Structure 1
């Protein structure tokens, strides 16, 4: 499971971005995990409740949906959650437990509509209404905040790293990576005209901000072992659509002193593990196998907290896996990435979707490069649940892209071989 929420906050600024004031149905903007979603059938408002087209909305949230014509019943599934609604009835069910709705699901212009907030929150998502905008954050995502602000008049007491002109996506990627590795609170920089082309973006203010936020997200996906930042805010100072300075402020899951102590502890432990399991005469693939086997044998998947929706933050980190011996997929990928790099193996984290008997869910694994060949390792799915001690599986060890794609899906443009050489 990945911990990753995309949240975009819009504010009035010197760049004169217009935000709708009324919350009429025709003007509602729905954002799901940072992406604006436009439905063919527009949302409507009834008795102050926003209703949305049933099938399109569930699918946008990554849920599977069934429609029973005879009983007029909608049943949706995502992960461990089942939601059931009946047309014209104000009683809905979540995993069999009944809840009362303010407005019942109904047929409008031949389409089935359901209450947006209830459905989103029933699936464990956060639903925010903001002045004509509806922002939905999946419960298993990392927070991303993008904003444009006026120039600051005060200086806060934070650890700020300032850089000169950024000319390319690679330069910004490395700047962000360095900042997160060193627990920086904030970085500031300017952007050259060539940055837009490098990032594959147009040069509008919103597109530049989105490109920057996407690069932060990419760094955290590639290097989950430094993924202790749970939110970031991007501020751009400027006038007449010309940016003069950009700042990225990072918020971390833990206080700075605790975070530094945790990272020191996990780095010491990682080096001890490498000294223990890696021998001088090992081939690269033998090193990868030794790391894979160590994690499986010494880690229990945090299944109980998963089903109870009580996963602690450390289970998403290398600290949880290497120090506490417990984690979920993001923690497994973080631990593997850290150990692989210490052993001299090219490794990057990959974030995508896994498909198994329980359906689809956000998932994380690793991409490695050995002898100039790209292979994949999913340590999480090679670790039996419930835990079986030293029993190690190799279904997802050193597999090709074609083999992995049978039950994994990911945006391959975000995980290209070139990123191994971003150093």
Structure 2
């Protein structure tokens, strides 16, 4: 009887030995060993989620509700769900021999699928049980290019350009004449041009109020008077300070050869790590005017969503990334409130970027979230809403 029991236990031992995933010797990426636990299961190497994605310079997002992983690098988007043998690369289904899984509270993903999907070469050396990965080299630029943030959005309307020039110099009055009665003959049309200038250049929005006068005749005479939050001289100095700080930031975090996605992430991370959301004043409903501006975020290091999005717009323009300032609402702890964020164009596709909501409030130094980094319309609609036809700048938190 004892012999039978021992034999049965031996069978169980053998069964569990072969069912348990084996440990690979190591994974080497671009000549450097990966410092993370690695598993082999049914011929598939599994590695920790963040270790592989971040090593290959991909942006990764984890959705705990449905245990879904979304990673983005350049023009490639990967979607995996824990426990599923189906994964997706740019929307195309790929079958996995072994699905992603959670082991000892660590999310493990298939190494070859992830690496090859992101453009890397994968080789298996059987004699040493080693995976060797060579990541795809990025095209190198010879020099860092900083764009003129005011010339990124070209506009042939002379009134638009006159208003833009006036706001750049913090002028209190802009005058304009034209013989085009139909285009410039009424106040509403002039206001729409002012609004478009501010929509395209939110980092110039220091305006408390404005007044428009139109005198029509054979020649249309337009006068626009701006009332700023601060004295015009101070506003001009603030605009210049933002310009200088923006150049300093770009030289610090942007490197030649970076892709647009890498540039966007570097700027996003800088803003989050170097800005404190003005949480205390927000709670008291006493937010100072500076916190609504790019100056507050970039120079003072404190702001609310309008300041965050304005600062991101400025920096994105200067590194040549097309973007829009979006005004809508966000549903947070205090219910639905007016809110602002950015929409960015990366590799021909538009994504939503909410840097404000990726920055913990109250402030948690050193912590960065990517929950609202490059979301699709459907993804961000879970707690954001907006109307593309009703965009206009105002004070938003």
Whether the TM-score (by the shorter chain) exceeds 0.5 is yes
* Residues 1:189 and 1:355: Cα distance change in structure 2 (over 3 Å): same
User: Is it true that 1:246 corresponds to 2:214 in the alignment?
Assistant: no
Q: 1:406 maps to what in 2?
A: 382
5 Å matches for 1:326-341? 326-341=302-317
Query: CA–CA distance in 2 between the matches of 1:292 and 1:280?
Result: 18
Superposition CA RMSD, Å? 2.2
Q: 1:175 maps to what in 2?
A: 162
User: Is it true that 1:225 corresponds to 2:203 in the alignment?
Assistant: yes
The Cα of 1:357 is off from its aligned counterpart by: 3.2
The Cα of 1:210 is off from its aligned counterpart by: 1.9
Query: CA–CA distance in 2 between the matches of 1:175 and 1:384?
Result: 39
Q: 1:311 maps to what in 2?
A: 287
| TM-score for the superposition, normalised by structure 2 | 0.55
Q: 1:187 maps to what in 2?
A: 174
User: Is it true that 1:215 corresponds to 2:193 in the alignment?
Assistant: yes
| TM-score for the superposition, normalised by structure 1 | 0.52
The Cα of 1:297 is off from its aligned counterpart by: 0.8
Q: Deviation per CA, 1:177-206, whole angstroms, max 9, x where unpaired?
A: 23212222222224514527xxxxxxxx7x
Q: 1:346 maps to what in 2?
A: 322
The Cα of 1:224 is off from its aligned counterpart by: 1.6
User: Is it true that 1:377 corresponds to 2:353 in the alignment?
Assistant: yes
Consecutive unaligned residues of structure 2, counting only runs of 5 or more, are 1-154, 392-397
SS at match of 1:398: strand
Range with greater deviation from structure 2 (174-183 or 329-338): 174-183
The Cα of 1:245 is off from its aligned counterpart by: 1.4
* Residues 1:290 and 1:342: Cα distance change in structure 2 (over 3 Å): same
The Cα of 1:170 is off from its aligned counterpart by: 4.3
Larger radius of gyration: 2
The Cα of 1:174 is off from its aligned counterpart by: 3.2
Q: 1:290 maps to what in 2?
A: 266
Q: 2:74 maps to what in 1?
A: none
Q: 1:72 maps to what in 2?
A: none
* Residues 1:396 and 1:170: Cα distance change in structure 2 (over 3 Å): farther
The Cα of 1:409 is off from its aligned counterpart by: 1.9
Query: CA–CA distance in 2 between the matches of 1:335 and 1:403?
Result: 24
Q: Deviation per CA, 1:217-251, whole angstroms, max 9, x where unpaired?
A: 23223322111122110011247xx8731211111
Report if the CA contact (8 A) 2:355-2:372 is conserved.
yes
The Cα of 1:256 is off from its aligned counterpart by: 2.3
Query: CA–CA distance in 2 between the matches of 1:407 and 1:170?
Result: 36
Query: CA–CA distance in 1 between the matches of 2:156 and 2:182?
Result: 9
Query: CA–CA distance in 2 between the matches of 1:353 and 1:223?
Result: 20
SS at match of 2:163: helix
Report if the CA contact (8 A) 1:236-1:243 is conserved.
no
5 Å matches for 1:107-122? none
User: Is it true that 1:268 corresponds to 2:244 in the alignment?
Assistant: yes
The Cα of 1:342 is off from its aligned counterpart by: 1.6
5 Å matches for 1:359-398? 359-398=335-374
